[in-house]
Structures are given as structure tokens and as C-alpha cells.
């Protein structure tokens, strides 16, 4: 019996849905997180370098290598479990181990990633985080602990996943260079749920950092956009006043349009990615199902106050650039129309001038033809007179009389001959 054929990508695409399971993390635990991004053109980077860098870390612990072309890998390195993931613009490393240090957020915990190995990373750190997973004795002891660990001004605290845990973070970089998060699970919270919370917090921090790259690009572009906006407005005034020739203004406008199109092309990917990362941040926070904890601001409220204004700035800059390019395009079309009208008027004037010249030429031709008839007639009469002089004596005519008799017939014959020639030419 013949079986139905499977699409060659069926299993691969189905397995992709299960390719990146959440880590299973117990309490207490220490989590070290790192995200690395190449500074330029990261989406087109050599992804083999990412794998090679991972393999160098695995070889230090004798851990198994990932499969060729893998985009995620889990391995045991010492007492830590390492989860590696490759994304479109960055790679992330999550190392977690049971137990916590006596000193909260001890920089030594991050030494799971050796300093010399970090120095050879194919890219730059976009973010790194230390996450402390520990149960607390009660609400009374929690608040002083959070005040000690985080900057109170920007501290965000909330209950998540239907009260499964309390999460806290201030999204600031501590003296060791890491962002701090605390996860304080309830006694009955399972390890998989803790792992899911850790994963969500790492994603929120990473996507937030990636989205903020759009703000940096927007700030870099703002002076240039303002300058081009001013130039465009000045050219529009010149175009309205008519003081500058339209073709000269059009030439300047094409330069401005080219600059705007180049800026838009260079920024299109970053602005588009920023919108995607912004949506992911809000989505991941929504998945945490936050509830307010003791009057603290939630993660969502923190993002609304601190993160969303930056995203609105990026959106505003992108729209401003698009609108300015549209203005330049419309102004160019108006100027081209004006130039075409002026050229049409010039062409009409030229054609009228050519018509006048043709009329003058025709009149001159008629004059020349008339003069030609007179000149030819003169010579023809002279020749005829000379040839008929002997006949004048026989007819008893004087030479003058003979010439007078010949003039009218000869002129008529010459005029008819010239007219016939002109008709043949036309």
C-alpha cells in the first residue's frame, strides 16, 4: 500500500515548536545571563563564529558539542547548566546552578563565564544579568532586603503567575556591570514555573536592551533630519517666491531627497527591529500576569514610564523621516511640473519664432523669385533682341521698337517657366 509523502520540512518545522524548552530551576539558585551582539550588521554575521565561541567554553569542561548548524544547545559545565541560544541579532548564554552565595549578587558568580573567554567573544555585550532565586521568610523581611539589593527610585516589584512568585528588579547596571533581578517563589512553586519566570525576565531585559538601540539611532539622526527639514523649507520658500530658477532649486532638492532616502534605507532595519522588540517586551511582561505588591510599581508600569517614551521617540523619528521624504518627493514633483511648463512655454516661443522666420523666408523667397523673373527676363529680352535685329530692318522697325515688342511675351514666358519649376519642387 502506497503511503502519503511527507513534506521534506514537516518534522523539522514541527520540532521547532519544541526546540527551546524552559529551563528547570529550583530554589534557591543563582542564574548568570549574558547576551552578545556584533556592533554592525549583526543580522548578517558569520554564525559559525557564535558556535565556535560556544565550543571553546564547552571544551574547557569537556562538555558535548552542539550539532552543526544548531541554534540552541544545553550542556553541563561544572556545577552549572548552560543553555545557549542563537537569535537573529544576538546570542544568549544562561548558566544556572543550585544554591546562592552568602553575598547577594556576588560578582564571583558570573565567573562561570571566564574573563579570557569573554574577551574573545565575536561581538559585544548588549546586556548581562544576575538573577537570585531564593525563598523569603515573609513580607516583613522582604521589603528591607529589596531596599538593600536595588535602587529604590527605580525598583519594580510584582507578584507574577497568579502569586507563584515575587519578582523584583531596578533595570540598573551594578558596579560589576550586571543588571539585577530577584525571584522569590512561593513554597509550592514548581521548578518548571521558576524556570519560566527566569526565562521571561531574561527576555524582557534583552529585548528592552535591543529596542533601546533604536533610540540611539533616532538621536543620531535627529540633528541631520532637522537640518534637512530647514533646507527643504527654505527651498519651498524659494520655489514660491520664484527668485531662484526652478531648475537650480530642483537640482538642490534632488540632493536633499537622496540624503533622506539614504538615511531611511540605513535606518529601516533598526527602526523595524525596534518595533518588533518593543512588542516582545510588552508581550513577555503580559505573560507574567503581574499583580501589584505592597504599593511598588510593577514591571509594566516601569516600562510605561521609562521605556515607552523612548519607543515613542523612535516611532516619531521614523515617521518624521518618512514625512520629510514624502515632502521632498512632492516638492520635486511640483518643481518638475514647473520646469516642464517653463520648457513648454520656451518651446512654444521657439516654435513661434521659427514660424516667423519661415514666413520671412517665404516672403524673401517670393521676392527673390520676382527678382529672378526680372533678371531672367532682362537677359532673355536682350538675347532675343540681338537675335532678331536683322528682322527689324525687313519689318522697318527700330531696335527700340523691336525690344518693346519682345518684352511682354518674353516676361510672360519666363514667369510661366519659373512658376512651373516651383510647382515641381513642391
Place of cell 513554597: 187
Residues 326 and 381 grouped into a single domain: no
Q: Which of 161, 194, 227 is the last residue of a domain?
A: 194
Q: What is the DSSP secondary structure assignment for residue 297, as one 8-state letter? A: B
Name the E strands within 285-362. 291-292
Residues 6+ apart with CB under 8 A from 78: 61, 112
Residues 345 and 365 grouped into a single domain: no
Which residues form the domain of 333?
Answer: 212-349
Residues 90 and 188 grouped into a single domain: yes
Q: Average of pLDDT values for 226-233?
A: 86
Residue 347's pLDDT is what? Answer: 75
Contact 104, 168 (CB under 8 A): no
Contact 25, 198 (CB under 8 A): yes
Residues 272 and 418 grouped into a single domain: no
Residue 419 or 258, more confident: 258
Q: Average of pLDDT values for 414-426?
A: 68
Residues 216 and 270 grouped into a single domain: yes
Residues 249 and 344 grouped into a single domain: yes
Tens of pLDDT, residues 357-388: 777 776 776 666 666 666 666 666 676 666 66
Q: What is the DSSP secondary structure assignment for residue 17, as one 8-state letter? A: T
- Please tell me the total count of domains within the chain: 3
Question: Nearest 10 degrees: CA dihedral of 24, 26, 31, 34?
Answer: 10
What is the largest distance, in Å, between two alpha-carbon atoms of the chain?
160
Place of cell 543563582: 30
pLDDT bin (cut points 50, 70, 90) of residue 251 is: confident
Q: What is the DSSP secondary structure assignment for residue 20, as one 8-state letter? A: S
pLDDT bin (cut points 50, 70, 90) of residue 1 is: low
Q: pTM for the complete prediction? A: 0.78
- Rounded to 5 degrees, what are φ and ψ at 131? -120, 125
The rounded distance, in Å, linking the Cα atoms of 110 and 408 is 125
204 within a domain of the structure (yes/no): no
**Dihedral of alpha carbons 136, 158, 275, 312, sign:** negative
Residues 243 and 220 grouped into a single domain: yes
Residues 36 and 182 grouped into a single domain: yes
Q: In the predicted model, is pLDDT for residue 394 greater than 90?
A: no
Residues 224 and 186 grouped into a single domain: no
Long-range CB pairs of 412-421, under 8 A, 24+ apart, other chains included = 413/380, 414/373, 414/376, 414/377, 414/380, 415/373, 415/377, 418/369, 418/372, 418/373, 418/376
Q: Which of 159, 194, 229 is the last residue of a domain?
A: 194
Closest CA to 254 of 228, 230, 221, 227: 228
The mean pLDDT value of the chain amounts to 86
Q: Which helix (H) or strand (E) holds 40?
A: none
13 within a domain of the structure (yes/no): no
28 within a domain of the structure (yes/no): yes
Closest CA to 153 of 293, 290, 306, 286: 306
Q: Average of pLDDT values for 10-31?
A: 83
Q: Which helix (H) or strand (E) holds 84?
A: strand 80-86
Least confidently predicted of 25-34, 141-150, 239-248 = 239-248
92 within a domain of the structure (yes/no): yes
> What is the Rg, in whole angstroms, of the alpha carbon atoms belonging to the chain?
45
Residues 6+ apart with CB under 8 A from 127: 33, 34, 35, 179, 205, 206, 209
Percent of the chain residues topping a pLDDT of 70: 81
Q: Which of 283, 314, 349 is the last residue of a domain?
A: 349
pLDDT bin (cut points 50, 70, 90) of residue 348 is: confident
The C-alpha angle 55, 46, 200, rounded to 5 degrees, equals 70
201 within a domain of the structure (yes/no): no
Q: What is the DSSP secondary structure assignment for residue 294, as one 8-state letter? A: T
Question: Nearest 10 degrees: CA dihedral of 282, 284, 285, 291?
Answer: 140
Closest CA to 36 of 17, 18, 50: 50
The neighbouring-strand residues paired with 371 are: none
Residue 346's pLDDT is what? Answer: 73
Residue 69's pLDDT is what? Answer: 83
114 within a domain of the structure (yes/no): yes
Amino acid at each position: 500500500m502506497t503511503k502519503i509523502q511527507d513534506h521534506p520540512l514537516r518534522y523539522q518545522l514541527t520540532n521547532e515548536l519544541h526546540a527551546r524548552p524552559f529551563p528547570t530551576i529550583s530554589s534557591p539558585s543563582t542564574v548568570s545571563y549574558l547576551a552578545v551582539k556584533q556592533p554592525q550588521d549583526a543580522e548578517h554575521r558569520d554564525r559559525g563564529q557564535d558556535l565556535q565561541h560556544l565550543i571553546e567554553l564547552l571544551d574547557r569542561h569537556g562538555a558535548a558539542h552542539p550539532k552543526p548548524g544548531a541554534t540552541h544547545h544545553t550542556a553541563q559545565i561544572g556545577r552549572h547548566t548552560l543553555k545557549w541560544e542563537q537569535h537573529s541579532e544576538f546570542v544568549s548564554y544562561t548558566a544556572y546552578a543550585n544554591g546562592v552565595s552568602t553575598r547577594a549578587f556576588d560578582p564571583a558568580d558570573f565567573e562561570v563565564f571566564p574573563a579570557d573567554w569573554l574577551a574573545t567573544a565575536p561581538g559585544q555585550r548588549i546586556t548581562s544579568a544576575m538573577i537570585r532565586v531564593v525563598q523569603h521568610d515573609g513580607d516583613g523581611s522582604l521589603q528591607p532586603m529589596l531596599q538593600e539589593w536595588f535602587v529604590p527610585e527605580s525598583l519594580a516589584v510584582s507578584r507574577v503567575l497568579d502569586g507563584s512568585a515575587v519578582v523584583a528588579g531596578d533595570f540598573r547596571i551594578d558596579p560589576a556591570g550586571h543588571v539585577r533581578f530577584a525571584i522569590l517563589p512561593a513554597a509550592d512553586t514548581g521548578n518548571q514555573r521558576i524556570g519560566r519566570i527566569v526565562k521571561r525576565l531574561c527576555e524582557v531585559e534583552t529585548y528592552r536592551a535591543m529596542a533601546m538601540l533604536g533610540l540611539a539611532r533616532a538621536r543620531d539622526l535627529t540633528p541631520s533630519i532637522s537640518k534637512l527639514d530647514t533646507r527643504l523649507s527654505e527651498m519651498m520658500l524659494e520655489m514660491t517666491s520664484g527668485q531662484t530658477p526652478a531648475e537650480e532649486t530642483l537640482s538642490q532638492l534632488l540632493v536633499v531627497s537622496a540624503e533622506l532616502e539614504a538615511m531611511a534605507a540605513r535606518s529601516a532595519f533598526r527602526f523595524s527591529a525596534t518595533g518588533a522588540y518593543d512588542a516582545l517586551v510588552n508581550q513577555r511582561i503580559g505573560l507574567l500576569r503581574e499583580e501589584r505588591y505592597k504599593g511598588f510599581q510593577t514591571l509594566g508600569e516601569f516600562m510605561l514610564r521609562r521605556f515607552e517614551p523612548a519607543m515613542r521617540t523612535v516611532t516619531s523619528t521614523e515617521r518624521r523621516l518618512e514625512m520629510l521624504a514624502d515632502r521632498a518627493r512632492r516638492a520635486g514633483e511640483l518643481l518638475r511640473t514647473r520646469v516642464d511648463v517653463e520648457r513648454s512655454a520656451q518651446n512654444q516661443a521657439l516654435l513661434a519664432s521659427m514660424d516667423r522666420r519661415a514666413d520671412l523666408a517665404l516672403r524673401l523667397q517670393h521676392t527673390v523669385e520676382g527678382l529672378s523673373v526680372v533678371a531672367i527676363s532682362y537677359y532673355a529680352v536682350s538675347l532675343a533682341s540681338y537675335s532678331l535685329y536683322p528682322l527689324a530692318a525687313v519689318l522697318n522697325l527700330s531696335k527700340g521698337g523691336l525690344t518693346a515688342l519682345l518684352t511682354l511675351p518674353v516676361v510672360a514666358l519666363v514667369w510661366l517657366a519659373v512658376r512651373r519649376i516651383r510647382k515641381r519642387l513642391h
